[in-house]
Structure 1
Amino acid sequence: MHSSPSLKSDNLRERLVVRRLTMAHPGDLSALAALLDAGEMAANDIVAVIGKTEGNGGVNDFTRGYFTQSLMALLARHTGKPAEALLRQVPCVLSGGTEGVLSPHYVVFARTSEPASGSGGALAIGTAISAPLPAHDIGRWAHVRSAAAAVRAAMDQAGIERPEDVRFVQLKCPCVTSARAQQAAAIGQTVRTADPGRSMAYARAAGAFGTAVALGEMPDDPRLEGAMLEDFSLGSFRASISSGVEVDAIEAIVLGHSERWQGPLRMGCAPMQDALDIAGVTEAVREIGLLASPQLAPPDAARVAAVFVKCEPDRRGLVRGMRHTMLDDTDINAQRHIRGAVGGLVAGVLGETQIFVSGGAEHQGPDGGGLVAVIAHVVD
């Protein structure tokens, strides 16, 4: 398990810096390169990146790997570390699909330290990357336990002592491809499913269960393995789980509040009951002192540093009693439908299009809904 350096002495406090940057294409890191060249951000301070690329979000979405490769090459030039080593040190969680009004972008998280002032208390970040996860463990209880361990390691590294102080957990989990299934069979192992799309769903479910175990929301009970993708009352309302072919380990990013950090950033997180739940969006921003009535006023919108959303087409085929056709459309994948729909709703409330909206919300928020999390600068 790899995690970032631990907190420093009592005379110093950690400070989180969040920069949301635009991209012209999935390999475009020019905005970050400009910050590094100007000395406005140090490459060695960067601890995580979460981004939204214009791919399809499916198994064959190679925009995610393209961005990751470009990022690691850039950081390698500025740090002198090999790109291969940085892959095991800096989580880079990407979601493909910028349907509708969503804009491709990426959020860079950096942690710095400064002399302690005041009483402290601010948004903190911790990261961890597990050992590579064998294909035969993906979607099984070993996956759950590995995810839970990664979340706990990230919490510890951030100095977040209480599970209730965690606001948002972002994981990226590997999935089973046809090649990985064949490799497992060659060593006498079986995978939970050899269907890559179904494997991504199981991987997200296991990540959500692992987050719930780490946060004390459900027990570490292997008998619950059969509840994945079956009992949607289980899971975590603070988990956002992605899965892809570009990773072979679990990458964890934990955000929460800690007295050992200082700075102006805070985070609100709230469940969305369904795809039309504007109240969930307004509650998330209300937690950090912002009022959407019905849309954030420009001064408040300018305080927003990053937005993360998980959503899911209601598997019962209904939205507030009315039939939807997202699950039956053979031309457009259901996840693309829901990202476009929910992305438009959240963008309308926030007056902002650089929003991370990820489909596949199995066990992440209410069934047929999801969650919304917002980072913003507080007003003194």
Structure 2
Amino acid sequence: MPIARVHRIIAQGPDDASGLQAAIASGTIDPAGILAIFGKTEGNGCVNDFTRGYATQSLTLALARHIGEERAKAVCYVMSGGTEGAMTPHWTVFERVDGDGEPGPALAIGRVHTAALAAEDLGRMGQVRQVAAGVRQAMAEAGLSDPADVHFVQIKCPLLTAQRIGEAEARGATVAVRDTLKSMGLSRGASSLGVAVALGEIAEEDLTGALIGRDLGLWSGRASASAGVELLNHEIVVLGMSKGWSGPLAIDHAVMADAIDVEPVRAALDRLGLGAPGQLGQAARDRLVALLAKAEASPDGEVRGARHTMLDDSDISSTRHARAFVAGALAGVVGRTDIYVSGGAEHQGPPGGGPVAVIARKA
């Protein structure tokens, strides 16, 4: 029976694979079982954040020494740039092994790489449909037939560059947007709506390309999308609870209504047996395996009626402000800074809020 293992490894930089290598050398991680690695790297998280590709290359090369280049490239590397504030750069390694563990339901993992996305499909229904199909495929790999058992879908999606736009226009195609930074938001949004379609949160017939990035009242409560220059396709990782998996790990999720709405996260922690009236104590922190969250600056320029300036800063992207702000709020709840907070939550939770997933060891 499959068993999911999740390992959190501190990184000293985007090229630091030493912690992963040490875990493999000690037998803590079997490299043959690695399905995905989520990373927080200390870049700017924008179009020209090459720390994501650097980290992906470094981790791929490290794994190739143990399992060969082809299998190393099959791993889903979801690198999220930006560790503003006190967020700790780190890797979260998702591993599948087979054996006899404590009975399920338990954390289940499925992953898939889609085909490359044509530049003219980015931010349009073509991307929504490709992601929806990929999510369904990843669910099947994890043995998750009921969308209700899915708690989080992490996607790494492409963005547009001047070169990619030029190539599309040279073959007579048009792109959804020519602003490369705005293409990140459109890609995240279309990917998230693809998750919503796959999980039955939104019917595909209720969507049109004109609604993507505009009608933010349409959203998924379990999608997390991060755009990057380092890929042309989608890397999709589905996390859920399945009776067909065993082992000590469980996952739950919450949806923050705004950037300081931590009570739904406390409720998810409580459902996993980590409830606390204040910050988690040491024993509970030791059981917390991973916290994954989305963050964005509220598009109306306010948080609970008070003005924020994240959207007015022409020097620093609002996604960087939001990551630092939400990471601080969540770190105050769980007492850890090695958490995964990704900026830009278009169609991921209500405007200004975002989905959160908690993975913990069972009591």
Quick check: TM above 0.5?
yes
Deviations 1:76-112 (A, max 9, x none): 1111234xx633x111001111111110001000100
Aligned equivalent of 1:42? 30
User: Which residue of structure 2 lines up, in the alignment, with residue 86 of structure 1?
Assistant: 72
Q: Are 1:111 and 2:102 matched, yes or no?
A: no
Q: Give 1:202's aligned residue.
A: 186
Counterpart of 2:43 in structure 1 is 55
Matched, 1:97 2:85: no
C-alpha spacing 1:149/1:16, structure 2 compared with 1 (3 Å) = same
> Which residue of the partner structure matches residue 7 of structure 2?
19
Question: How far apart are 1:283 and its partner, in Å?
Answer: 1.7
Please say if residues 61 and 69 of structure 2, whose CA atoms lie closer than 8 Å, have aligned partners that are also in contact: no
| Residue type of the alignment partner of 2:75 | V
1:30 aligns with 2:30: no
Structure 1 310/348 Cα, relative in aligned 2: closer, same or farther at 3 Å? same
Q: 1:231 and 1:287 mapped to 2: Cα distance?
A: 32
Contact 2:279 2:335 in 1 (8 A): yes
In structure 2, the gaps of 5 or more residues are none
> How far apart are 1:39 and its partner, in Å?
2.5
How many aligned residue pairs are there? 363
Q: Secondary structure at the match of 2:204?
A: coil
The 3-state SS of whatever aligns with 1:50 is strand
Query: Equivalent of 1:217, from 179, 201, 207?
Result: 201
Q: C-alpha distance in 2, partners of 1:346/1:300?
A: 15
Contact 2:151–2:253 (CA<8 Å) still a contact in 1? yes
CA apart distance, 1:221: 2.5
Partner Cα separation in structure 1 for residue 87 and residue 347 of structure 2: 24
| Other-structure match for 2:158 | 174
Matching residue of 1:7: none
1:335 aligned to 2:328? no
Contact 1:141 1:222 in 2 (8 A): no
Task: Provide the secondary structure at the position in 2 that maps to 1:281.
Answer: helix
1:287 Cα offset (Å): 2.2
Q: Could you give the per-residue CA deviations for residues 135-190 of structure 1, whole angstroms, max 9, x where no partner exists?
A: 11111111001000110000000001100000000011111111000011111111
Written as runs of structure 1 = structure 2, the 5 A alignment for 1:229-240 is 229-240=213-224
Name the SS for the 2:99 alignment partner: strand
- Structure 2 residue matching 1:300: 3-state secondary structure: helix
Letter in 1 for 2:362: V
Instruction: Tell me how far 1:251 sits from its aligned partner.
Output: 0.6
Query: Which residue number corresponds to residue 338 of structure 2?
Result: 354
Q: How does 1:1-380 map to 2 (within 5 A)?
A: 13-82=1-70, 86-87=72-73, 89-115=74-100, 119-221=103-205, 223-379=207-363
1:287-308 Cα distance to aligned partner (Å, 9 max, x none): 2111131111110111000110
Residue 223 of structure 1, CA deviation = 4.8
Moved over 4 A (4+): none
TM score, norm. by length of structure 2 = 0.98
* Distance in 2 between residues matched to 1:331 and 1:207, nearest whole Å: 27
User: CA offsets per residue over residues 310-331 of structure 1, 9 Å max, x none?
Assistant: 0110110111101111100122
After superposition, give the CA deviation of every residue in 1:311-360 in whole Å (9 maximum; x if it has no partner).
11011011110111110012222111111111111001000000111110
CA distance in 2, matches of 1:119, 1:95: 33
Opposite residue 161 of structure 1, the aligned amino acid is S
Q: Over the residues paired in the alignment, what is the CA RMSD in angstroms?
A: 1.2
Structure 1 unaligned runs (5+)? 1-12
SS in 2 for 1:268: strand
The alignment-based identity, stated in percent, is 48
In structure 1, C-alpha distance between the alignment counterparts of 2:328 and 2:46, rounded to whole Å: 21
Which amino acid in structure 2 is aligned with residue 337 of structure 1? H
Are the equivalent residues in 2 in contact too, given 1:364–1:370 (CA < 8 A)? yes
> 1:222 Cα deviation (Å)?
7.5
- 2:133 maps to a residue whose letter is A
Letter in 2 for 1:289: G
Contact 1:284–1:372 (CA under 8 A) maintained in structure 2: no
What's the counterpart of residue 10 of structure 1? none
AA aligned opposite 2:311: L
Measure how far apart 1:37 and its partner are. Answer: 1.8
Q: Deviations over 1:50-75 (max 9, x none)?
A: 11000000000000000000011011
Shift of 1:119: 4.5
CA contact (8 A) 2:102 2:247 kept: no
CA distance in 1, matches of 2:104, 2:357: 22
Aligned-partner residue type, residue 245 of structure 2: W
Change (3 A) 1:63 1:119: closer
